[in-house]
Amino acid sequence: MLPRKKIPPGVPFLARRLVVDLIPAAIILVASRLFDFIFHFKLPVVTVTAGVVLSVPTLYALHIKLYQWHVRRAAAHLGAVLPPRWKGRSIGDRDLLDHVLEHYNNGYLGEGIWDKMGELGYLYDVTIMWGTNYVTTDANVIKTILAMEFAEFEKGEEFRDAMGTVLGSGVFNADGDMWKFHRMMTRPYFYRDRISHFELFDRHAALLIKKMKDRFQGGHAVDFQDAIARFTLDSATEFLCGKCVDSLESDLPYAHNDAVAPNLVRKPNVAERFARAFTEAQLIIAMRSQLGWFWHFQELLRDKTAEPMQVVDQFLTPILEEAIRRNRASRVKGMASHVKDADEDETLLDHLVKLTNNSNVLHDEMLNILIASRDTTAATLTFAVYLMCLYPDVFKRLRAEVLERVGPTQVPTFDDVRSMKYLRAVINETLRLYPAVPFNVRVPNRDTTLPNPDPNGPRIFVPAQTPIGYSVFLMHRRKDYWGPDAEKFDPDRWLDERLNKYFTANPFIFVPFNAGPRICLGQQFAYNEMSFFLIRLLQNFSAMELDLSAQPLDARPPPEWASADGQKGKEKVIPKSHLTLYVYGGLWVKMTEAEKET
């Protein structure tokens, strides 16, 4: 197992802060002694104590004033302006932090730090506890950050610090040469012959669909979110590591109100423990990102991710060690290839161990890729089924396309998937309303400027190391980008005149897979996997509906949501996000088998 730091992450942070903060106090103490030594006059203890105590806030106040002066001066030098600022009412704008955390925990997705978009514009400053953050949903700003000026924007040290105990130095948490190294390692593996491994998808899909049928035949609801996460985990581990963890072999959970549930006592298997622990770890680092630098003080005594990551490591480490062992054995026998391109039959892990035997690099990269291949695909399929339950006409039309193009039982091919335009429209519309990674952040590595959301205004100044949070979730729902029906689920917008009017004219209004040099390498793999599973699902089931009674009591939308505008007013579940999107409490559904139609 990989060694993990035993010192809680808050301790070194506090130590660094104390060293800096106590310098003025130390100077005052030394000065008082020198004053006594040189002038033989001892300053009153009260005076020295007051100076020591006041030195810290005085230093902070001076630092803040000097920083603000530097920012105004640098902005003027570049002919730029500062963005509007959301001003709080309390010292350090602590009330804004309370507002953000309250909405993060209890509000609708996208509420909280993003609440002033209508009032302040689509790029503004939220300074909390004297830490400056910019937030935006502007397509031109996001285009600049992700593509046009990519080299100037990184994940940043604060992001890496908050995410490091889970993501390590993997591709999602790396910048510069380390990011290029990870990208170089994985890029050769994702080409068409590999991303269209439909036989692999079919085996896992068949097992899941059988389990779902068994449950439905007994009158039980199924948590589709849990079920599809098992499918994507099994598919991902076999595709990436060559070893399926067989999470689908264990029983699916029962709903809280199911008569079977109280009598069912079983121990979770290795894959289930991994999945739960990995989700817990992601929730912890997501909360860190909400708290800003203040999160360190909550982890002075312990690293909150240590326990779940121990479970994750117990799952992943043996797989990595076996791959390293196989590679070393093959080299001893003289059979190992030194070619950097991926061989036809090798897994991604087999390919990576040819490039490095550094267990930390392998661990972090595989964990990052597992997030991309398991969580994002599972999230999209979960919300696709959710939306088809809400819009049965969409379900019927998509099923008709499946039966017409593929038939009721045939295994879909790559060409079948490519020809099904309504299927792609349904997936794209799901990704538009519920992108798998709804929020992200970048940090400029030097003072720079960004386009002003007001086309007639000067550029916006951004100081170096200022986090810029951007939300594709909210950008995808903007009416000025997508039309007056932007918050309506309508796959036809990808097929009719609206496609050219909105998306074709401005492609950066739709970036569910990121964009620019960091665009998702597994994008087409994800489309293929999602398409394949949806075809198989609709071949086997002729109707689907939400079982809201099976939804846990605390996982039901508050009554006041029903009066809200847009998709929020239609929600029957609570969308949440850690690193990726998910349904709080699961998505409980019932489906009708196709062969039982009368």
Count the helices and strands in the chain (H runs, E runs): 22, 13
CB neighbourhood size of 280 (10 A):
17
Q: How far is CA 558 from the centre of its chain?
A: 25
Q: How far apart are CA 30 and CA 475, in angstroms?
A: 56
Binding site per annotation, positions: 520
Q: How far apart are CA 137 and CA 124, in angstroms?
A: 10
Question: What is the number of alpha carbons within 13 Å of residue 539 lying toward its C-beta?
Answer: 21
Alpha helices in 168-246 (DSSP H): 176-186, 192-195, 198-217, 224-241
DSSP state of 411: P
| Length of the chain as a residue count | 598
Q: What are phi and psi of 131, to 5 degrees?
A: -105, 120
∠ CA 493-537-345, nearest 5°, is 100
- CB 222, CB 200: distance < 8 Å: no
- Output the 3-class SS for 243-293: CCCCHHHCCCCCCCCCCCHHHCCCCCCHHHHHHHHHHHHHHHHHHHHHHHH
Bridge partners of 444, per DSSP, are 153
Q: How far apart are CA 139 and CA 460, in angstroms?
A: 15
Residue type, 228: I
- CB 124, CB 85: distance < 8 Å: yes
- CB 308, CB 280: distance < 8 Å: yes
| Sequence-distant (≥ 6) Cβ neighbours of residue 95 within 8 angstroms | 88, 89
Q: How far is CA 411 from the centre of its chain?
A: 32
- CB 502, CB 481: distance < 8 Å: yes
- CB 453, CB 406: distance < 8 Å: no
Beta strands in 409-473 (DSSP E): 439-444, 448-450, 460-462, 468-471
Q: How far apart are CA 460 and CA 449, in angstroms?
A: 5
Burial 57-86 (b: 16+ CB within 10 A, else e): eebeeeeeeeeeeebeebbeeeebbbbeeb
Binding site per annotation, positions for heme: 520
Strands 541-546 and 588-593, sheet pairing: antiparallel
